[in-house]
């Protein structure tokens, strides 16, 4: 039995990026540990979700616990930092925000969990945090140092296949892709994926590991649904038909740190 530790920035990130690999590992008899840097207390709130007097962080703590149970997570820990929100927001400057945390200090907190769990595999994000969110970039920085401190050699950077996403967008624009996206979603995706635009994901050539999580999509979708404070039932994530959902979320992509260019894996090492 191996131990997989997945390090994420906010509640709900764990489902989108690694929901499948966590479920795969758990079903195969491995130990799965989730560490979340913040409680996501500054996220946007879906209307009508919070109870009177309920704070967003309280709801998100419950949501991530419910999602973790669906995905087979054995232990979940918060690292104890505040949500930094998107790049350029005033909250980025909050001394308590994860973006402002000294990397060595935060890495020591994560490394303590890695040592306790005798972690074999750690997942983080790529060096731009997938799409430039400050907390996601910090997950990369902190995770790399923590792995070194704890002696975890097998580190995977969660990312998105930029070339595949561009092809899917082009198919949608041509009316050939499964399902439908709103004009706003299409425009946002076009901007994020355009050459010279904001950096999103990684080129196909850099991706070492593509995990087919299609058999676990029901669990992944169910785990998304419990994050109701962030993911509305009619959102892009949940409203799309099953075939479109499979196309968008049926493969999870990673870059294995230190792996030779051209490496092609279909699962995280030792977790099949």
Share the mean pLDDT of the chain.
89
- Identify the weakest region by mean pLDDT among 60-64, 90-94, 110-114: 90-94
Helix segments in the chain, DSSP class H? 13-27, 56-71, 103-117, 134-150, 162-173, 183-193, 217-225, 236-239, 242-249
- Identify the weakest region by mean pLDDT among 163-172, 180-189, 247-256: 180-189
Cβ-based burial of 44 (10 A; exposed 0-12, middle 13-18, buried ≥19):
exposed
Model pLDDT for residues 112-142, shown as the tens digit of each residue:
999 999 999 999 999 999 988 999 999 999 9
Give the integer Cα–Cα distance in Å for 55 and 122: 31
Q: Supply 196's token pair.
A: 């010279």
Nearest alpha carbon to residue 32 among 93, 92, 120: 120
Mean pLDDT for 3-30 is: 97
Number of H helices, E strands in the chain: 9, 7
Q: 20 or 272, which is more confident? A: 20
pLDDT at 196: 46
Give the integer Cα–Cα distance in Å for 151 and 171: 44
Question: Given 3.40.50.10860, 3.40.50.10320, 2.40.128.50, 3.40.190.150, which CATH number is that of 3-160+202-256?
Answer: 3.40.50.10320
Nearest alpha carbon to residue 189 among 180, 179, 200: 200
Give the integer Cα–Cα distance in Å for 161 and 163: 6
Give the integer Cα–Cα distance in Å for 172 and 170: 5
Q: 163 or 185, which is more confident? A: 163
pLDDT at 186: 56
Nearest alpha carbon to residue 87 among 35, 45, 129: 129
Distance of CA 245 to the CA centre of its chain: 16
Percent of all residues in the chain with a pLDDT value above 70, rounded to a whole number: 89
* pTM confidence score: 0.90
Mean pLDDT for 87-110 is: 90
Model pLDDT for residues 216-235, shown as the tens digit of each residue:
999 999 999 999 999 988 88
Residue with tokens 């731009």: 128
Phi, psi (deg, nearest 5) at residue 263: -60, 135
Partners of residue 111 on adjacent β-strands: none
Mean pLDDT for 247-261 is: 95
Indicate left, alpha or beta for 135 from its phi (over 0: left) and psi (-120 to 50: alpha).
alpha
* CB atoms closer than 10 angstroms to residue 161: 18
Would the pLDDT of 197 be above 60?
Answer: no
Model pLDDT for residues 28-59, shown as the tens digit of each residue:
999 999 999 999 998 888 988 899 989 999 99
For residue 205, give every residue at least 6 positions away whose Cβ sits within 8 Å of its Cβ, in sequence order, or none: 261
- Identify the weakest region by mean pLDDT among 170-174, 221-225, 260-264: 170-174
pLDDT at 156: 98
Mean pLDDT for 175-186 is: 53
51 three-class SS: coil
Would the pLDDT of 199 be above 50?
Answer: yes
Give the integer Cα–Cα distance in Å for 17 and 113: 21
Give the integer Cα–Cα distance in Å for 32 and 200: 27
Percent of all residues in the chain with a pLDDT value above 90, rounded to a whole number: 69
Would the pLDDT of 151 be above 80?
Answer: yes
Would the pLDDT of 174 be above 90?
Answer: no
Would the pLDDT of 89 be above 80?
Answer: no
Domain boundaries, the chain: 3-160+202-256, 162-200
Q: Which residues of 131-159 are buried (b: 16+ CB within 10 A; e: fewer)?
A: bebbbbbbbbbbbbbbbebbebebbbbbb
């Amino acid at each position: 039995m191996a131990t997989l530790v997945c390090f994420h920035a906010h509640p709900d990130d764990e489902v989108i990026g690694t929901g499948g690999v966590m479920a795969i590992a758990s079903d195969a008899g491995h130990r799965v540990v989730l560490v979340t840097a913040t409680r996501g207390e500054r996220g946007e709130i879906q209307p009508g979700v919070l109870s009177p007097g309920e704070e967003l962080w309280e709801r998100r703590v419950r949501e991530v616990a419910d999602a973790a149970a669906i995905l087979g997570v054995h232990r979940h820990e918060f690292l104890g930092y505040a949500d930094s929100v998107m790049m350029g927001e005033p909250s980025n400057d909050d001394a308590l925000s994860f973006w402002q945390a000294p990397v060595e200090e935060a890495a020591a907190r994560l490394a303590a969990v890695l040592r306790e769990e005798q972690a074999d595999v750690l997942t983080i994000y790529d060096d731009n945090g997938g799409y430039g969110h400050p907390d996601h970039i910090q997950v990369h920085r902190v995770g790399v140092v923590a792995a070194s401190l704890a002696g975890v050699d097998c580190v995977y950077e969660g990312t998105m296949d930029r070339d595949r996403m561009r092809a899917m967008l082009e198919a949608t624009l041509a009316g050939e892709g499964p399902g439908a996206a709103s004009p706003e979603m299409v425009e946002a995706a076009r901007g994020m994926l355009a050459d010279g635009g904001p950096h999103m994901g990684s080129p196909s050539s850099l991706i070492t590991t593509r995990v087919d999580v299609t058999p676990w999509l029901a669990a992944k979708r169910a785990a998304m649904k419990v994050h109701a404070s962030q993911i509305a039932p009619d959102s892009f994530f949940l409203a799309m038909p099953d075939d479109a959902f499979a196309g968008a979320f049926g493969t999870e992509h990673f870059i294995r740190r230190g792996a030779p260019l051209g490496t092609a894996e279909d699962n995280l090492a030792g977790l099949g």
